[in-house]
Amino acid sequence: MSAFLSIRGVAKRFHDAVAVNDVSLDIEKGEFVTFLGPSGSGKSTLLYLIAGLHEPSEGDISLQGKSLLDVPPNKRNIGMVFQRYTLIPHMNVTENIAFPLKVRRWPRERIEKRLAEMLALVRLEKFAGRKPSELSGGQQQRVALARALAYDPEILLMDEPLAALDKRLKEDLQLEIRRIHRETGATILYVTHDQEEALRLSDRIAVFNHGRIEQIASGASLYDNPVNRFVAGFVGNSN
Ligand code: ADP
Ligand code: MG
């Protein structure tokens, strides 16, 4: 049987620059996998390939045994959260979370029920009527998270969602994200260049370098048994 999400020999070239270089990766349903690596190592490009925002130059990506490559991005059941919030400024919290549900033509009662669940999940019940400009950066990211999870996507992709937040808020939100992963059982692919964050959040960490995955393993085994100096240096045990 194939994995839930299977990435096979995927490459992405921009003109003559290689952003992702022959990556293969299997992800199980419900896993929290983090792409960790320095800036420019291809982490975001691989997320965009999975989301369908880029087409691979080579290779295949399949979900539950079916290739995603002929499925347009808006037909892929994938949620995305970016570093900078992408909330709709004139809509309040409720309307922002409801937006993808309305696009999917959910009936009104089902939307109401789901909104209540999502506001509770991200603990924003008291802020339902506020506009994005009336929220802190952390609250805005919670709304983005609720919006991305509302339609129960098969995979949630997060690209450095906490990078713009200060340290305390970042740590609060890391705990929230872990709790939400536990409670929802969502399959999450998470991009960061922050080792500590990767170690806190992930079931497995894929260490990226120059468009390739150097090693993929649990944080503990990367730390104890790095395959090379790059991995050792990047996850902190370079002695
Ligand atoms: P990361 O997310 O790890 O910082 P990226 O995936 O954004 O890295 O980028 C990997 C490489 O691909 C970088 O060298 C970057 O400049 C290049 N790249 C990414 N997107 C594009 C694009 N749309 N056009 C040209 N080059 C790109
Ligand atoms: Mg990036």
What is the rounded average pLDDT of the residues 85-105? 93
- pLDDT mean across residues, the chain: 93
Residue type, 47: L
Q: How far is CA 194 from the centre of its chain?
A: 14
- pLDDT computed for residue 235 by the predictor: 86
Ligand 1: residues whose CB is within 6 Å? 14, 17, 19, 37, 39-45
- Per-residue pLDDT band at 5 (split at 50, 70, 90): very high
Residue type, 235: V
CA distance 157 to 39: 18
pLDDT digits 0-9 by tens, 97-128: 999 999 999 999 999 999 999 999 999 999 99
Please list all protein residues whose beta carbon sits less than 5 angstroms from ligand 2, which is an ion: 44
CA distance 209 to 122: 33
Q: Provide ipTM, 2 decimals.
A: 0.98
Protein residue with its CA nearest to atom 22 in ligand 1: 14
- pLDDT computed for residue 84 by the predictor: 80
Handedness of CA 161, 174, 213, 237 (dihedral sign): positive
Q: Which residues contact 238 (CB under 8 A, 6 or more apart)?
A: 229, 232
Q: Is 60 exceeded by the pLDDT of residue 179? A: yes
Q: Is 80 exceeded by the pLDDT of residue 196? A: yes
Q: Is 60 exceeded by the pLDDT of residue 239? A: no
pTM for the model: 0.94
CA distance 59 to 22: 8
Q: Is 70 exceeded by the pLDDT of residue 237? A: no
Q: Is 80 exceeded by the pLDDT of residue 85? A: no
Q: For a ligand 1 pocket test, name from 14, 192, 208 the mutation site with the most ligand atoms within 8 angstroms of its C-beta.
A: 14
Q: Which residues contact 98 (CB under 8 A, 6 or more apart)?
A: 111, 115, 150
What is the rounded average pLDDT of the residues 192-221? 96
Q: For a ligand 1 pocket test, name from 45, 57, 189 the mutation site with the most ligand atoms within 8 angstroms of its C-beta.
A: 45
pLDDT digits 0-9 by tens, 20-58: 999 999 999 999 999 999 999 999 999 999 999 999 999
34 φ, ψ (degrees, to nearest 5): -110, 135
- Per-residue pLDDT band at 1 (split at 50, 70, 90): low
| Residue 13: strand pairing partners | 18
Nearest atom in ligand 1 to the alpha carbon of residue 54 is: 23
What is the rounded average pLDDT of the residues 202-210? 97
